[in-house]
Protein backbone atom coordinates (compact mmCIF):
# COMPACT_ATOMS: atom_id res chain seq x y z
CA UNK A 1 0.00 0.00 0.00
CA UNK A 2 1.05 3.54 -0.71
CA UNK A 3 2.10 5.37 2.36
CA UNK A 4 2.14 9.12 2.74
CA UNK A 5 3.66 10.15 6.03
CA UNK A 6 3.53 13.59 7.58
CA UNK A 7 6.18 14.32 10.15
CA UNK A 8 3.89 15.54 12.91
CA UNK A 9 0.28 14.95 13.86
CA UNK A 10 0.05 18.00 16.11
CA UNK A 11 2.27 21.07 16.20
CA UNK A 12 2.18 24.28 18.23
CA UNK A 13 4.33 27.21 17.09
CA UNK A 14 4.68 30.85 18.04
CA UNK A 15 3.83 33.78 15.80
CA UNK A 16 6.80 34.74 13.66
CA UNK A 17 8.49 31.35 13.82
CA UNK A 18 9.65 29.59 10.68
CA UNK A 19 7.74 26.32 10.41
CA UNK A 20 8.56 23.26 8.33
CA UNK A 21 5.95 20.62 7.59
CA UNK A 22 7.44 17.50 6.06
CA UNK A 23 5.77 14.91 3.88
CA UNK A 24 7.26 11.68 2.56
CA UNK A 25 5.75 9.15 0.15
CA UNK A 26 7.16 5.71 -0.54
CA UNK A 27 5.72 4.81 -3.96
CA UNK A 28 7.84 6.84 -6.36
CA UNK A 29 4.94 9.18 -7.15
CA UNK A 30 5.65 12.18 -9.35
CA UNK A 31 2.88 14.44 -8.04
CA UNK A 32 2.73 15.82 -4.53
CA UNK A 33 0.29 18.30 -3.03
CA UNK A 34 -0.17 20.44 0.07
CA UNK A 35 -3.63 21.45 1.25
CA UNK A 36 -5.06 23.20 4.24
CA UNK A 37 -8.47 22.44 5.59
CA UNK A 38 -10.58 24.80 7.67
CA UNK A 39 -14.16 24.45 8.88
CA UNK A 40 -16.61 25.70 6.29
CA UNK A 41 -13.89 26.24 3.67
CA UNK A 42 -13.11 22.68 2.70
CA UNK A 43 -9.78 21.57 1.27
CA UNK A 44 -7.80 24.34 -0.38
CA UNK A 45 -4.74 23.68 -2.49
CA UNK A 46 -1.65 25.61 -1.40
CA UNK A 47 1.09 24.28 -3.68
CA UNK A 48 1.78 21.24 -5.77
CA UNK A 49 4.78 19.69 -7.44
CA UNK A 50 4.94 17.35 -10.43
CA UNK A 51 8.68 16.70 -10.39
CA UNK A 52 11.80 17.26 -8.34
CA UNK A 53 12.53 20.97 -7.98
CA UNK A 54 9.29 21.82 -9.80
CA UNK A 55 6.49 23.60 -8.01
CA UNK A 56 3.31 25.40 -8.91
CA UNK A 57 1.05 27.63 -6.90
CA UNK A 58 -2.35 26.40 -5.95
CA UNK A 59 -5.29 28.52 -4.88
CA UNK A 60 -3.85 30.01 -1.67
CA UNK A 61 -0.03 30.17 -1.86
CA UNK A 62 0.39 33.46 0.02
CA UNK A 63 2.45 33.09 3.16
CA UNK A 64 3.78 29.67 2.15
CA UNK A 65 6.64 28.23 0.17
CA UNK A 66 7.59 24.66 -0.71
CA UNK A 67 10.64 22.61 -1.41
CA UNK A 68 11.06 19.39 -3.35
CA UNK A 69 14.71 18.39 -3.45
CA UNK A 70 14.01 14.67 -3.62
CA UNK A 71 11.17 12.87 -5.34
CA UNK A 72 9.81 11.30 -2.18
CA UNK A 73 9.81 14.42 -0.01
CA UNK A 74 7.72 17.58 -0.26
CA UNK A 75 8.10 20.24 2.39
CA UNK A 76 5.75 23.09 3.20
CA UNK A 77 7.38 26.16 4.75
CA UNK A 78 5.73 28.93 6.69
CA UNK A 79 8.37 31.65 6.58
CA UNK A 80 6.84 33.62 9.45
CA UNK A 81 3.92 31.84 11.03
CA UNK A 82 0.81 33.84 11.77
CA UNK A 83 -2.31 32.99 13.74
CA UNK A 84 -4.40 32.83 10.56
CA UNK A 85 -2.28 29.89 9.47
CA UNK A 86 -3.67 27.78 12.28
CA UNK A 87 -5.23 24.92 10.37
CA UNK A 88 -5.16 21.24 9.44
CA UNK A 89 -2.52 20.64 6.76
CA UNK A 90 -2.81 17.64 4.47
CA UNK A 91 -0.21 16.25 2.12
CA UNK A 92 -1.04 13.99 -0.83
CA UNK A 93 0.71 12.23 -3.68
CA UNK A 94 -0.35 10.67 -6.96
CA UNK A 95 1.48 8.63 -9.54
CA UNK A 96 1.81 11.14 -12.38
CA UNK A 97 0.04 14.11 -14.00
CA UNK A 98 -3.41 13.09 -15.20
CA UNK A 99 -3.59 10.26 -12.70
CA UNK A 100 -5.29 11.85 -9.76
CA UNK A 101 -5.91 8.79 -7.65
CA UNK A 102 -4.25 10.59 -4.80
CA UNK A 103 -3.19 9.20 -1.45
CA UNK A 104 -3.31 11.42 1.61
CA UNK A 105 -1.34 11.61 4.78
CA UNK A 106 -2.95 11.68 8.19
CA UNK A 107 -2.71 15.46 8.46
CA UNK A 108 -0.87 17.89 10.72
CA UNK A 109 -2.92 20.09 12.98
CA UNK A 110 -0.89 23.27 13.34
CA UNK A 111 -1.72 25.83 15.99
CA UNK A 112 0.04 29.20 15.86
CA UNK A 113 -0.14 31.11 19.12
CA UNK B 1 -13.99 28.43 -9.85
CA UNK B 2 -15.75 25.22 -8.96
CA UNK B 3 -16.38 23.00 -11.93
CA UNK B 4 -18.67 20.59 -10.11
CA UNK B 5 -21.91 21.10 -8.20
CA UNK B 6 -23.00 18.87 -5.34
CA UNK B 7 -25.75 19.16 -2.73
CA UNK B 8 -24.27 20.25 0.60
CA UNK B 9 -25.83 17.43 2.60
CA UNK B 10 -27.83 14.21 2.35
CA UNK B 11 -29.19 11.60 4.72
CA UNK B 12 -29.53 7.89 4.06
CA UNK B 13 -30.95 5.04 6.13
CA UNK B 14 -28.50 2.32 7.12
CA UNK B 15 -28.71 -0.62 4.71
CA UNK B 16 -30.23 1.44 1.94
CA UNK B 17 -28.49 2.65 -1.18
CA UNK B 18 -26.97 6.11 -0.98
CA UNK B 19 -27.09 8.00 -4.27
CA UNK B 20 -24.88 11.07 -4.38
CA UNK B 21 -25.31 13.33 -7.41
CA UNK B 22 -22.78 15.58 -9.08
CA UNK B 23 -23.16 18.03 -11.90
CA UNK B 24 -20.15 18.63 -14.14
CA UNK B 25 -21.76 20.36 -17.08
CA UNK B 26 -18.49 21.77 -18.48
CA UNK B 27 -16.96 18.36 -19.03
CA UNK B 28 -15.56 17.77 -22.47
CA UNK B 29 -13.31 15.49 -24.45
CA UNK B 30 -11.32 12.96 -22.52
CA UNK B 31 -11.92 14.41 -19.09
CA UNK B 32 -12.49 12.25 -16.06
CA UNK B 33 -14.60 12.56 -12.95
CA UNK B 34 -13.11 11.42 -9.64
CA UNK B 35 -14.79 10.73 -6.32
CA UNK B 36 -13.21 10.89 -2.89
CA UNK B 37 -14.55 10.76 0.62
CA UNK B 38 -13.29 12.14 3.90
CA UNK B 39 -14.25 10.56 7.16
CA UNK B 40 -13.98 12.90 10.12
CA UNK B 41 -10.40 13.56 11.26
CA UNK B 42 -8.86 11.57 8.42
CA UNK B 43 -7.36 12.49 5.07
CA UNK B 44 -9.52 12.07 1.95
CA UNK B 45 -9.69 8.61 0.43
CA UNK B 46 -10.00 7.83 -3.27
CA UNK B 47 -13.20 5.94 -4.15
CA UNK B 48 -13.62 5.65 -7.91
CA UNK B 49 -13.26 7.50 -11.18
CA UNK B 50 -14.81 7.33 -14.64
CA UNK B 51 -14.71 8.74 -18.15
CA UNK B 52 -17.89 7.74 -19.95
CA UNK B 53 -18.79 4.21 -18.97
CA UNK B 54 -20.30 3.18 -15.67
CA UNK B 55 -17.74 1.89 -13.22
CA UNK B 56 -17.92 -0.39 -10.21
CA UNK B 57 -15.42 -1.41 -7.59
CA UNK B 58 -15.53 -2.88 -4.12
CA UNK B 59 -16.47 0.46 -2.59
CA UNK B 60 -19.05 1.96 -4.93
CA UNK B 61 -20.57 2.31 -8.37
CA UNK B 62 -20.34 5.34 -10.60
CA UNK B 63 -23.10 6.07 -13.07
CA UNK B 64 -22.30 8.68 -15.72
CA UNK B 65 -25.08 10.10 -17.88
CA UNK B 66 -24.89 9.67 -21.62
CA UNK B 67 -24.11 13.36 -22.16
CA UNK B 68 -21.47 13.07 -19.38
CA UNK B 69 -22.66 16.26 -17.73
CA UNK B 70 -23.60 14.60 -14.48
CA UNK B 71 -22.84 11.49 -12.49
CA UNK B 72 -24.08 9.62 -9.45
CA UNK B 73 -22.01 7.79 -6.89
CA UNK B 74 -23.88 4.83 -5.45
CA UNK B 75 -23.08 3.15 -2.17
CA UNK B 76 -25.29 0.08 -2.52
CA UNK B 77 -25.77 -0.76 1.16
CA UNK B 78 -24.77 2.22 3.27
CA UNK B 79 -23.40 1.61 6.75
CA UNK B 80 -22.79 4.01 9.62
CA UNK B 81 -19.10 3.98 8.68
CA UNK B 82 -19.98 5.54 5.31
CA UNK B 83 -20.88 8.80 7.07
CA UNK B 84 -18.42 11.22 5.51
CA UNK B 85 -17.99 14.17 3.16
CA UNK B 86 -18.03 12.98 -0.45
CA UNK B 87 -16.19 15.00 -3.06
CA UNK B 88 -16.82 14.89 -6.78
CA UNK B 89 -13.80 16.28 -8.61
CA UNK B 90 -13.45 17.17 -12.22
CA UNK B 91 -13.41 17.47 -15.08
CA UNK B 92 -9.83 16.25 -15.07
CA UNK B 93 -7.89 15.85 -18.29
CA UNK B 94 -5.34 13.18 -18.92
CA UNK B 95 -2.54 15.68 -18.46
CA UNK B 96 -3.94 17.51 -15.46
CA UNK B 97 -1.54 18.21 -12.66
CA UNK B 98 -3.70 20.10 -10.20
CA UNK B 99 -6.18 18.37 -7.91
CA UNK B 100 -8.74 20.79 -6.53
CA UNK B 101 -11.54 19.88 -4.15
CA UNK B 102 -14.92 21.59 -3.94
CA UNK B 103 -17.26 21.70 -0.96
CA UNK B 104 -18.54 18.14 -1.24
CA UNK B 105 -21.67 16.49 0.13
CA UNK B 106 -21.94 15.58 3.80
CA UNK B 107 -23.58 12.15 3.81
CA UNK B 108 -25.06 11.08 7.12
CA UNK B 109 -26.11 7.45 7.40
CA UNK B 110 -28.84 7.12 9.98
CA UNK B 111 -29.40 4.00 12.10
State pLDDT tens for residues B64-97: 998 888 999 999 999 999 999 999 987 766 666 7
DSSP H helical ranges for chain B: none
**Distance, CA of B15 to CA of B12 (rounded, Å):** 9
- Tell me the shortest Cα–Cα distance from A16 to chain B, in angstroms: 27
- In terms of phi and psi (left: phi > 0; alpha: psi -120 to 50; beta: otherwise), the region of A40 is left
Q: So what's the pLDDT on residue A65? A: 97
8 Å CB contact between A102 and A33:
yes
Q: Could A56 and B98 be called an inter-chain contact, meaning their C-beta atoms sit closer than 8 Å? A: yes
Q: B97, A104: Cβ pair inside 8 Å? A: no
Of A40 and B47, more confident: B47
Do A33 and B99 count as a contact with CB atoms less than 8 A apart? yes
Mapped onto helix, strand or coil, the DSSP state of residue B81 is helix
**Which of B38, B45, B96 faces A100 most closely, judged by CB atoms?**
B96
Mean pLDDT lowest among A23-32, A104-113, B93-102? B93-102
| Per-chain mean pLDDT for chain B | 89
Stretch A65-93: mean pLDDT, rounded?
A: 97
Residue B36 with chain A: CB contacts under 8 Å? 102
Segment (H or E) for B35: strand B32-38
Selected residue with higher pLDDT from A108 and B1: A108
Amino acid sequence: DVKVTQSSRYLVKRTGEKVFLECVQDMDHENMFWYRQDPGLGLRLIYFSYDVKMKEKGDIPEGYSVSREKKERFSLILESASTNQTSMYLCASSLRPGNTEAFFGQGTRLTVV
Amino acid sequence: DAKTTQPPSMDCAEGRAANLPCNHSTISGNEYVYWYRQIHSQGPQYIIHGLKNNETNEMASLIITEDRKSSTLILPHATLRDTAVYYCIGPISGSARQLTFGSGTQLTVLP
